[in-house]
């Protein structure tokens, strides 16, 4: 009998969120929870290093060859949204080298609140916040918080130490997201890991059935780029086509350059 799942391209899942919120750890958690039943590959994006890939390889959650690094140059969000070539090539290489894969997880470089993946690169995306970033972050909104397919409120085990009310933070997030899903996660809380596992399996099933439609959370909000050579120490920049040429300073984003670890 032909297994229909074999003919469908791997589900590509993006993981974005501010620096240090736990994106690599979350990918390790997904791999631990699902590597026994799914064929998984991972692509990491770092600015100048392959540190996240090395962390994941050393975590021993997947064969090291299934974890590849894209070095993005100065602006990590560019490689997941504006010029996705390096990531697409890395995903296609991984899918070809380990065919058939069920899921390819793509971690964005740690950035700010505004970075989101292009729906041309990923089928669905998770946005990761953590309680240590403050209970009010979920209320601040932005494309990832508001419209990613899943919002993770991470490191809930730290909530008592940083004085954050997790149910309130989740309620604020649900309100900011018009009811789209939110999972309060700690890698030490088995129930929350089970909820994450069930969400991934649900999206994979919808993807295989042809019922999943990739959503675009929207372009990055205007944001500040520090630049020592600029008279004001930096400039506000937008990735919105309409505004892109309003800035007096040339666009500094180098294109994603290297696909390392191949």
Max Cα distance, the chain (Å):
67
Residue 151 token pair? 């919002």
Closest approach, Cβ 28 to ligand GTP, in A, equals 8
Of 52, 66, 62, 59, nearest in space to 24 by CA: 52
Helix then strand count (H, E) for the chain reads 8, 10
Indicate the DSSP class of residue 150: E
Query: Which residue's CB comes closest to ligand GTP?
Result: 110
Stretch that binds ligand GTP, among 23-31, 60-68, 92-100, 135-143 (CB under 6 A): 23-31
Closest approach, Cβ 119 to ligand GTP, in A, equals 22
Q: Which of 77, 147, 155, 237 binds ligand GTP (CB under 6 A)?
A: 155
Q: Does residue number 24 form part of the binding site for ligand GTP (CB under 6 A)?
A: yes
Closest approach, Cβ 190 to ligand GTP, in A, equals 12
Number of residues that bind ligand GTP (CB under 6 A): 15
Cα separation of 183 and 179, whole Å? 12
Phi, psi of 18 (to 5 degrees): -60, 165
Q: Does residue number 144 form part of the binding site for ligand GTP (CB under 6 A)?
A: no
3-state secondary structure 218-246: CCCCCEEEECCCCCCCEEEECCCCCCCCC
Stretch that binds ligand GTP, among 6-14, 17-25, 30-38, 142-150 (CB under 6 A): 17-25
Q: Does residue number 77 form part of the binding site for ligand GTP (CB under 6 A)?
A: no
Cα separation of 91 and 84, whole Å? 11
Q: Does residue number 186 form part of the binding site for ligand GTP (CB under 6 A)?
A: yes
Q: Does residue number 81 form part of the binding site for ligand GTP (CB under 6 A)?
A: no
Q: Does residue number 133 form part of the binding site for ligand GTP (CB under 6 A)?
A: no
Q: Does residue number 110 form part of the binding site for ligand GTP (CB under 6 A)?
A: yes
Q: What SS3 state is found at 200?
A: helix
Residue 38 contacts residue 5 (beta carbons within 8 Å):
no
Q: Note if the bond before 184 is cis, omega within 30 degrees.
A: no
Stretch that binds ligand GTP, among 118-126, 150-158, 224-232, 248-256 (CB under 6 A): 150-158
Q: Does residue number 12 form part of the binding site for ligand GTP (CB under 6 A)?
A: no
* Contact string 202-231 vs ligand GTP (x = CB under 6 A): ------------------------------
Q: How far is CA 17 from the centre of its chain?
A: 6
Cβ neighbours, 10 Å, residue 129:
26
Sites of contact with ligand GTP (CB under 6 A): 19-25, 52, 110, 154-155, 157-158, 186-187
């Amino acid at each position: 009998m032909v297994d229909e799942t074999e003919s469908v391209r791997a589900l590509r899942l993006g993981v974005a969120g501010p620096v240090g919120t736990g994106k690599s750890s979350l990918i390790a958690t997904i791999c631990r929870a699902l590597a026994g039943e799914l064929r998984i590959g991972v692509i990491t994006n770092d600015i100048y290093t392959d540190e996240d890939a090395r962390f994941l390889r050393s975590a021993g959650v997947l064969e090291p060859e299934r974890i590849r690094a894209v070095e993005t140059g100065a602006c990590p969000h560019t490689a997941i949204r504006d010029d996705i070539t390096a990531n697409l090539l890395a995903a296609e290489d991984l899918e070809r080298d380990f065919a058939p894969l069920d899921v390819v997880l793509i971690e964005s470089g740690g950035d700010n609140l505004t970075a989101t993946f292009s729906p041309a690169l990923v089928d669905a995306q998770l946005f990761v916040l953590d309680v240590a970033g403050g209970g009010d972050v979920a209320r601040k909104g932005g494309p990832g918080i508001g419209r990613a397919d899943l919002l993770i409120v991470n490191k809930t085990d730290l909530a008592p130490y940083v004085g954050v009310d997790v149910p309130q933070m989740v309620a604020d997030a649900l309100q900011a997201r018009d009811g789209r899903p939110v999972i309060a996660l700690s890698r030490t809380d088995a129930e929350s890991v089970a909820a994450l596992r069930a969400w991934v399996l649900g999206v994979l099933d919808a993807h295989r059935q042809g019922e999943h439609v990739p959503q675009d959370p929207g372009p990055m909000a205007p944001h500040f780029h520090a630049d020592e050579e600029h008279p004001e120490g930096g400039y506000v920049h937008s990735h919105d086509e309409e505004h892109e040429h309003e800035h007096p300073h040339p666009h500094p984003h180098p294109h994603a350059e290297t696909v390392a670890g191949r």
